[in-house]
């Protein structure tokens, strides 16, 4: 099974930097994903880490440490539109069959509010 | 627009009834996933299909069932509905090989059980 923890809520100011942490426990790790979800809308893919280190994509970066079971999402130059829930999700190794993807387990999400 | 479509967008029904939610994956994606998202539960994985076959099961109730058809669209059937089944139901699809295999989510169906 898997256990994923992330803070419930965070608040930051427009233009600032915020770091959203995620810790996980899994029996077979095969990748960590971050998704953004605005209220009532579909989650949208932000980033993917499978090896240790930092992945940068514009204003968003994601870091992974597999030995510590830890990841963070870093959002720079915050904008009002970044107010949303940020979901950490772990993919397990599962049963590897040709061409099939493995299921994701999502954390409860971190609700980020960006203030003017 | 993720390329994943879901119908209907909204569904209001009564307890004890049965409904069917429909999902069409992105062109070329063979895997379809169903999720339930309620206010107090977060995003819960229900079931996965790959090229017509069931591949993984999560927290799916026995009252719920799904299938994936030869044209790769999928349907989620919810029966004997209870008030607690009110939630957003998302479908997602992913490529079948290579890379991150990230899941692309449809816009969801909001189910209200009265």
Q: What digits encode the pLDDT tens for the residues B57-108? A: 888 999 999 999 999 999 999 999 999 999 999 999 998 655 567 899 999 9
* pLDDT for residue A104: 86
Q: Which chain A residues have a beta carbon less than 8 Å from that of B31?
A: 100-101
Statement: residue A101 has pLDDT above 60: no
* pLDDT for residue A99: 42
Q: Which chain B residues have a beta carbon less than 8 Å from that of A31?
A: 100
Inter-residue contact B52 to B70 (CB < 8 Å): yes
Statement: residue B52 has pLDDT above 70: yes
Q: What digits encode the pLDDT tens for the residues B2-47? A: 899 999 999 999 999 999 999 999 998 989 999 999 987 789 999 9
Statement: residue B109 has pLDDT above 50: yes
Q: What is the rounded average pLDDT of the residues A7-30?
A: 94
* pLDDT for residue A26: 84
Q: What digits encode the pLDDT tens for the residues A20-75? A: 999 999 878 889 999 999 998 999 999 999 999 999 999 999 999 999 999 999 99
* pLDDT for residue B60: 92
DSSP state of B85: G
Give the SS3 label for residue B84. Answer: helix
Q: Which chain A residues have a beta carbon less than 8 Å from that of B50?
A: 97, 99-101
DSSP assignment of A58-84 equals TTEEEEEETTTTEEEEEE-S--GGG-E
* pLDDT for residue B2: 86
Neighbours of A1 (CB within 10 A): 7
* pLDDT for residue B42: 83
Task: Name residues 33-62 of chain A within 8 A of B (Cβ).
Answer: 33, 40-45, 48, 50
- Residue in A closest to B98 by C-alpha: A99
Helices (H) and strands (E) counted in chain B, each on its own, are 0, 11
Residue B31 in contact with partner chain A when CB distance is under 8 A: yes
Query: How far is residue A60's CA from residue A34's CA, in Å, rounded to a whole number?
Result: 10
Q: What is the mean pLDDT of chain A?
A: 90
């Amino acid at each position: 099974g898997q256990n994923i923890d992330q803070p419930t809520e965070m608040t930051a100011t427009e233009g600032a930097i915020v770091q959203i942490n995620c810790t996980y426990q899994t029996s077979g790790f095969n990748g960590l994903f971050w998704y953004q979800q605005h209220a009532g809308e579909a989650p949208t893919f932000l980033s993917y880490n499978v090896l240790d280190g930092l992945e940068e994509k514009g204003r968003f970066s994601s870091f992974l440490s597999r030995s510590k079971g830890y990841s963070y999402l870093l959002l720079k130059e915050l904008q009002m539109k970044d107010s949303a829930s940020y979901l950490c999700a772990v993919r397990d190794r599962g049963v590897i069959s040709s061409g099939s993807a493995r299921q994701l387990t999502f954390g409860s999400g971190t609700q980020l509010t960006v203030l003017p | 627009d993720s390329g994943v479509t879901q119908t209907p967008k909204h569904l209001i029904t009564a307890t004890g009834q049965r409904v069917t939610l429909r999902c069409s994956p992105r062109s070329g994606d063979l895997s379809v996933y169903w999720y339930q998202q309620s206010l107090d539960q977060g995003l819960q994985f229900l079931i996965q299909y790959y090229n017509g076959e069931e591949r993984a099961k999560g927290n799916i109730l026995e009252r719920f069932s799904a299938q994936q058809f030869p044209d790769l669209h999928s349907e989620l059937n919810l029966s004997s509905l209870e008030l607690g089944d009110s939630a957003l139901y998302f479908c997602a699809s992913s490529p079948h090989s290579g890379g991150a295999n990230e899941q692309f989510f449809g816009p969801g169906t909001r189910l209200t059980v009265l």
